[in-house]
Amino acid sequence: MCGLAGLWRFHNTSEDDLQENARLMSRSISHRGPDDFGEWHDAEKGLILTHQRLSILDLSQAGHQPMISNSGRYVIAFNGEIYNHLDLRKSLLIENQAPPWHGHSDTETLLAAFEAWGIENTLKKSVGMFAIALWDRKQKILHLVRDRFGEKPLYYGFTGDSNEKSLVFASELSAIRSIPAFNNTISTESLTQLLRFSVLASPNSIYKNIKQLCPGQIISFSYPIQSIMPKPKSWWCFRSILEHSKENLFLEEKEGLLQLESTLAKTINQQSLADVPLGSFLSGGIDSSLITALLQKNSMQPVRTMTIAFEENSYNEAPYARAVADHLGTDHTETILTANDAFELITSLPRIYSEPFADSSQLPTHLVCREARKKGLTVALSGDGGDELFGGYNRYFWGPRIWNQLSWLPIGIRHILGSVVNSIPPSRWDCIGHYLPINQVGHKAHKLADRLVNVRTSDELYRSLVSEWRDPKSMLLNRDICEASSPIDWSLPESLLGDPVARMMAYDTLNYLPNDILTKVDRAAMAVGLETRSPFLDHRVAEIACRLPMKMKIRKDSDQGQSKWALRQILYKYVPQHLIDRPKAGFAMPIGMWLRNELRPWAEDLLSNSLIRKQGYLQPELIQKLWKQHLSEKFDHTNRLWTILMWQAWLQEWHGK
């Protein structure tokens, strides 16, 4: 796990100028790799690569980057891990294509494989997470590559005026923004998308002419560099996996469970390879408990586990994690997050995330990463991907069920029904929720009421459920724009027609997983030099998940149903069922309450009419209306307000507005 950056000048430039720009870029992401710094350049062609290293495998200088291949053809700056790189070395040896090895890093393995098998063949053979900048000195082509699910970030684009125009690329926007010639303006189209999802979706960034490479894509730039942006192409596509998997579903539950458990166990064993201390995050939920159980099964010592606790009992799931840890015999650490802790972290969020990002669980996520690093861990395994691939989110149950009950009603009747639901304060709904297996009933009831009134298909319902505003452009001063596209605008395989739950899961894997969950974890962890690994996102595990019939993911044979059925069956072999079975809560925290109390002065400064009007992006009157409604406690606008607050904080941090 590291950070990479580089630039390619359109016009001749001095070696000193190249190096100065590159070092500014690298310095801005030094937190991603505090153990080593390296650079490589070709002044004649105006290209430079830099690398910040977090040493995980081969801690010696034999793992230093940028690294040059044995023949001298390729130069690589690589962020990530190739978990099967020892297997790749064996294959190269069998084929008599192994070079004389200088060390045992996966970076050296990648370079040898590129020379032996070519780029795309090597990528398809590789199991791991990665962002790669690869310079082919023979063909004079720069390749930028991103892993299958988007675990590692990679931004790229053009910046500078006609005299200093450059192609720039980096692990984080802060590196690109650090170049003196950077002059890209804010994209209001992307701001609209931020208001919808609370995050930005690849291929977009918050700046014009700067993109995110989408998961599973490669983009190639030839010498001499041209101002026309080439089109990325996919070297791996989740939608294709979905399409082919429907033709090869498991017919027997026993066979599916056996293959899933053995593949997951093999994956966790591979992802446990590290030359530094390793542990796991443990929330007490299904995903993290299963990862921890399989990790502990193969460990001779107690696995080190980490969890976050809240002072507010209604949000605190730490006791569940502690019970699982006690049963498995792990070396468990529990850290309490208070409102004061949150406030201290909040001012750092724009720097940690480098782009506007507004999933409030970023706070406990960063704190658990920080505590893990303080306790001496350098690598932590997580359960990310389990919900999307195995059917864990509440909307997979309640969305289609409510749609089937209410879709036949005329729009006018649904408007009346929505008004009735919204007339009851969230606190009153929460009282009702004490008798139901759902958390935060008030917020969810209001959200569902707002969404149901204007949708005509189950796909529209899904889009509405994952949107904070039905019409985010209404919040902008300039409404004459087009909203940036996102993966939920992509088409899905015909095999998913008529299956709204499968379609929701697919869209979540394409959009919510890489752009929210994985972005949150990557920045939260890398800000403190911690590597996170996600066994569920091994593509072999994901391909098995796609082959499981829906009944092995979601059981509807009871009023409540049961999520992640297949994962539960494996987990129950290691952890008693009574320690696991409870309503799903997610990584929730009492942000809404804190905004009305401890965080109120901070929020009111950022939401002031004069500041918002001066910035010139949002409608101050509409924001003040939201704020007053939230303070009244008759409404819960936590997510919307947090999105606006994170945008405001980012704008002040990076643009002084």
* Residue 589: inside a domain: no
Percent of the chain with pLDDT over 70: 92
Percent of the chain with pLDDT over 90: 73
* Residue 155: inside a domain: yes
Shared domain check, 98 and 208 = yes
Enter the tokens of residue 346.
């909040």
Residues 6+ apart with CB under 8 A from 404: none
The whole-model pTM stands at 0.93
CB atoms within 10 A of CB 118: 10
- As a whole number of Å, the CA-based R_g of the chain is 24
Nearest to 280 by CA among 268, 294, 292, 266: 292
What is the reported pLDDT for 446? 67
Q: Does the N-terminal peptide bond of residue 549 adopt cis geometry, omega within 30 degrees of 0?
A: no
* Residue 185: inside a domain: yes
**Helices and strands per DSSP (H, E), number in the chain:** 28, 17
Distance of CA 571 to CAs 294, 369, 381, 579, 581, Å?
Answer: 9, 25, 16, 11, 11
Residues 518, 520, 521: CA angle, nearest 5 degrees? 65
What is the reported pLDDT for 588? 62
Please determine, for residue 538, whether its predicted confidence score (pLDDT) is greater than 70. Answer: yes
Please determine, for residue 185, whether its predicted confidence score (pLDDT) is greater than 80. Answer: yes
| Residues pairing with 141 in the sheet | 136, 222
Question: Which region among 92-101, 114-123, 243-252 has the lowest average model confidence (pLDDT)?
Answer: 243-252
Number of separate domains in the chain: 2
Q: Using CA of residue 515, residue 466, residue 177, residue 165, what is the dihedral sign? A: positive
| Residues pairing with 320 in the sheet | none
- Write the CATH number for 161: 3.60.20.10
Question: How far from chain centre, in Å, is Cα 154?
Answer: 12
- Do the beta carbons of residue 500 and residue 457 sit within 8 Å? no
* Residue 648: inside a domain: no
Shared domain check, 301 and 166 = no
Shared domain check, 244 and 223 = no
Shared domain check, 123 and 184 = yes
Shared domain check, 120 and 219 = yes
Give buried/exposed letters for 403-415 (b at 16+ CB in 10 A, else e): beebeeeeeeebe
Residues 6+ apart with CB under 8 A from 297: 265, 574
| Average pLDDT of the segment spanning 591-616 | 93
Shared domain check, 107 and 35 = yes
Reported as a single tens digit per residue, the pLDDT across 401-438 is 877 877 777 777 777 777 777 777 766 766 665 555 55
- Write the CATH number for 272: 3.40.50.620
Q: Name the E strands within 325-430.
A: 331-337, 379-381
Question: How far from chain centre, in Å, is Cα 511?
Answer: 9
Can you tell me the distance from the alpha carbon of 370 to that of 349, in angstroms, rounded to the nearest whole number?
13
Enter the tokens of residue 41.
């350049």
Q: What is the DSSP letter of 510?
A: I
What is the reported pLDDT for 434? 55
Pairing type for strands 67-68 and 210-212 reads unpaired
| Average pLDDT of the segment spanning 366-393 | 94
Q: What is the residue range of 178's domain?
A: 2-236
Q: How confident is the model at residue 57 (pLDDT cuts 50, 70, 90)?
A: low
Shared domain check, 256 and 176 = no
* Residue 451: inside a domain: no
| Average pLDDT of the segment spanning 637-649 | 96
* Residue 50: inside a domain: yes
Shared domain check, 129 and 218 = yes
Q: Using CA of residue 337, residue 343, residue 347, residue 349, what is the dihedral sign? A: positive
What is the reported pLDDT for 432? 61
Residue 25: what are its φ and ψ, rounded to 5°?
-65, -50
- Residue-averaged pLDDT of the chain: 91
| Average pLDDT of the segment spanning 123-151 | 98
Q: Where a domain ends, among 538, 562, 579?
A: 579
Shared domain check, 53 and 196 = yes
What is the reported pLDDT for 419? 73
Shared domain check, 252 and 195 = no
Reported as a single tens digit per residue, the pLDDT across 273-308 is 888 889 999 999 999 999 999 999 989 899 999 998
* Residue 547: inside a domain: yes
Residues 6+ apart with CB under 8 A from 340: 598
Q: Where a domain ends, among 551, 579, 607?
A: 579
Shared domain check, 274 and 196 = no
Please determine, for residue 548, whether its predicted confidence score (pLDDT) is greater than 60. Answer: yes
* Residue 82: inside a domain: yes
Angle between helices 500-507 and 458-465 (to 10 degrees): 40
- Do the beta carbons of residue 548 and residue 433 sit within 8 Å? no
Q: Where a domain ends, among 189, 212, 236?
A: 236
pLDDT higher at 436 or 351: 351
| Average pLDDT of the segment spanning 104-130 | 97
Reported as a single tens digit per residue, the pLDDT across 233-258 is 999 999 999 999 988 899 899 999 99
- Do the beta carbons of residue 218 and residue 120 sit within 8 Å? yes
What is the reported pLDDT for 426? 67
Shared domain check, 269 and 163 = no
pLDDT higher at 510 or 457: 510
Can you tell me the distance from the alpha carbon of 173 to that of 212, in angstroms, rounded to the nearest whole number?
10
Can you tell me the distance from the alpha carbon of 607 to that of 601, in angstroms, rounded to the nearest whole number?
10
